[in-house]
Chain A
């Protein structure tokens, strides 16, 4: 559905996207991850037709990005979506729906909690409410291709859960979904594949679990006891290990007679993968 081959984009003298190639199929969610300035938004803008590629080729269902036909089947959520401040929520949804030749979807309005805000003016909305409105605008044409740039920004936990449901619903409907995100836990649980960008280049791609495993990042055991264990100064210990079972087995004999207050085992995640890539490229992680 989405075919990208050798995509290159410059900003002045800088190469912000450097030979990016990937594809996204029907019913697939692909995450674009990477530190700030990795080229995620620049790549999405090329796919949405908002920016012209300096090299390579992009096709949306075989169509040139930005063409009227491509825009008709694409729903896009921008990172900072501009909204008509003097219209109310219902009017804004109606306007964008009519630009797609459809009517606003009551299901979406309800799912995103916008029904209570229908008469509220857009310039009076909070950041999270604006994000929900922009999401509804992107989702309401039931697009075959969904491009999402930081969709969970400013959303509260309940709304993040609802957003996740909506994205999964779109996948079930057969949409090809490309999502740039810094929410790596969300990317891990939601995405079928992730593309790790660093300095505009694709440095890794695959299932989140495979990427984590391939990175070989250690897991972390955090143990809190009623009093410091023999030989320790503090009552909390942090152990980083690639073999959790072996580490816990080695720890058990030392616990004799000391009550355990808390035990947390944190597996390695995409965060470690991103950090490792950034360190390799010497780029700053924020």
Chain B
């Protein structure tokens, strides 16, 4: 076994042992991120889904802290004590000492991220819908920031300087980089600046993997992170020094710093041009109750639907809203042989115009066709839906309600832009699976009795590539109700798209 081939493993082992025996590394690397997580949990306790909407933020803070402080502190500390000089005497390629250090720090970081994930799950965050995409996003973000940390370690002459340089990176990203303060809350002047910082790309990439359609939709962010990481690594290599007192003497390749800086500026400019729109602020709007969307007068009545064979239902206690609308008692799953199917629905008593606009934040429905990337994601969901057991369980009402979850959960999680296209997918599935004569009644039953039926299938959504929903059922049932109303309007032709804006309005 030559020293060259065998050197990385013992170095990695030694670095891991040294890191795990360093109480401060564990406090800053593992304990602080957990405290941040609990802070997010306490701050955003009224989120419709616990923690999921902030996963990009708390994962990025953990990576940033470990990379901007932990790695360079260790680098500078070892260089100051002369350990690197001692290593440099050994007949192993010298880059391996730094690579082993970075890998050990990456392992510590991986442990922190796993710990964070498990704790977030324990606090109610739903399972990850795209574990591979999430892992990829976390890895790219971690490597990017570790490269930046290596650059800090190269630039800083001593440990106090690491703190100063690290804060120069950490604080701007926390405050105006979309990491701690959400992009939606930033003032207009700060948004262009956020494009210069990789923190924004990390948050978007991780968030898209956790509550979006996976990293395919965050291709630019992953590329930007890779670019930032590579440029930082290149600068660190050019300025690298073994000796604590060597000073910043770039040597013969020093001129390379100029193109590196130019490339970084170009990358930042490109990010400013190509950055996706700022996400909407957190959607915590209440969906209201069925009574919100029902008028006291009646006019048109749907013809009685023929009784489909699949329906097995018995009457459930009538809700006040249903009684007010003159709608027969909705049915709930049961074993009764002869179901009581609602005979008719008074559509005129449903105030479709009071529903939130399709172009709005709550229960949106896209007016335009999806772009190719989204179409590919939608096609994948459609394929997986064919063999998704929950969509075939229970009676017809339950099946409709389960399919509505596919639109309601992404709406709560603000999976923009996917959330706006899923209602059309659900509508198409409903039209294909449920007879047209039955569908309006079933939608009306769900809309007018949102507390009926089960939403247990919310936990099985990852099987079709969507995030699961956890936490209280009420916000979810509210969104199911809204989509039931909206799709009822679409299948009956009462409300297809937003009504035209009144003349003179903006």
Contacts and interface: CB of A to CB of B under 8 A. Distances in A.
Interface of A: 48-50, 68-69, 71-72, 74, 76, 78, 80-87, 91, 94-96, 98-101, 134, 137
Interface stretch (B17-25, B335-343, B403-411): B17-25
Q: Which 5 A-B pairs have the closest CB atoms?
A: A82-B82, A82-B83, A72-B91, A99-B90, A101-B3
Interface string B456-468: 0000000000000
Contact of A98 (B7, B22, B82): B7
Nearest to B88: A50
Given A78-B82, A81-B82, A86-B18, A94 B10 contact: yes
A87 B17 CA distance: 7
A78 B84 CA distance: 12
Contacts of B81: 82-83, 85
B52 to A, nearest CB: 38
Contact of B92 (A49, A84, A94, A99): A99
A46 B330 CA distance: 90
A95 B89 CA distance: 13
B85 A82 contact: yes
Which of under 10, 10 to 19, 20 to 34, or 35 or more describes the interface residues of B? Answer: 20 to 34
Contacts of B87: 99
A78 B91 contact: no
B85 A78 contact: yes
A82 B14 contact: no
Contacts of B83: 82-84
A84 B91 contact: no
B86 A83 contact: yes
Residue of A94, A95, A98, A99 with highest tally of chain B CB at under 10 A: A99
Contacts, number: 80
A99 B7 contact: yes
Given A68-B93, A95-B10, A99-B91, A82 B18 contact: no
B119 interface: no
Given A71-B89, A95-B11, 5 more contacts: A50-B89, A78-B86, A86-B18, A95-B10, A96-B90
A85 B14 CA distance: 11
A83 B13 CA distance: 15
A91 B84 contact: no
9 contacts: A48-B89, A71-B89, A82-B78, A82-B85, A82-B86, A85-B18, A91-B14, A91-B17, A99-B91
Nearest to A92: B14
Contacts of A80: 82
B492 interface: no
Contacts of A99: 3, 7, 10-11, 87, 90-92
A87 B243 CA distance: 22
Contact of B21 (A86, A98, A100): A86
A127 B258 CA distance: 45
B89 to A, nearest CB: 5
A100 B82 contact: no
A96 B11 CA distance: 9
Nearest to B14: A95
B1 A101 contact: yes
Contacts of A48: 89
A178 B78 CA distance: 27
A229 B223 CA distance: 95
A78 to B, nearest CB: 7
Interface of B: 1-4, 6-7, 9-11, 13-14, 17-18, 21-22, 78, 81-93, 242-243
Contacts of A98: 3, 6-7, 9-10
Nearest to A73: B91
B84 A86 contact: no
Contacts of B242: 50
B304 to A, nearest CB: 79
Given A82-B78, A83-B83, A86-B22, A68 B4 contact: yes
B7 A50 contact: no
B89 A74 contact: yes
A81 B86 contact: yes
B476 to A, nearest CB: 49
B103 to A, nearest CB: 15
A206 to B, nearest CB: 30
A96 B97 CA distance: 12
A78 B78 CA distance: 16
A72 B89 CA distance: 9
A194 to B, nearest CB: 24
A119 B263 CA distance: 50
A71 B96 CA distance: 15
Contacts of B84: 82
B10 A69 contact: no
A30 to B, nearest CB: 20
Contacts of B22: 86
A76 B87 CA distance: 11
Nearest to B22: A86
B369 to A, nearest CB: 59
A183 B91 CA distance: 30
Given A82-B81, A86-B22, A98-B6, A71 B17 contact: no
A74 B14 CA distance: 23
Nearest to A94: B10
Nearest to A137: B86
Nearest to B20: A86
A245 to B, nearest CB: 50
A79 B239 CA distance: 26
A50 B85 contact: yes
A84 B1 contact: no
A134 B88 CA distance: 14
B3 A72 contact: yes
Residue of B9, B13, B93, B242 with highest tally of chain A CB at under 10 A: B13
A251 B85 CA distance: 58
A101 B2 CA distance: 6
B213 to A, nearest CB: 44
A68 B96 CA distance: 13
A84 B85 CA distance: 12
Contact of B14 (A76, A84, A137): A84
A71 B97 CA distance: 15
Residue of B9, B13, B87, B91 with highest tally of chain A CB at under 10 A: B91
A13 to B, nearest CB: 15
Contacts of A94: 10
A95 B242 CA distance: 19
Given A50-B85, A83-B86, A85-B81, A71 B10 contact: no
Contacts of B13: 95
A81 B7 CA distance: 20
A69 B86 contact: no
B90 A100 contact: yes
B78 A100 contact: no
A137 B86 CA distance: 10
A87 B3 contact: no
Residue of A49, A74, A85, A101 with highest tally of chain B CB at under 10 A: A101
A60 to B, nearest CB: 12
A281 to B, nearest CB: 26
A134 B10 CA distance: 18
B91 A69 contact: yes
Nearest to A11: B245
Nearest to B243: A50
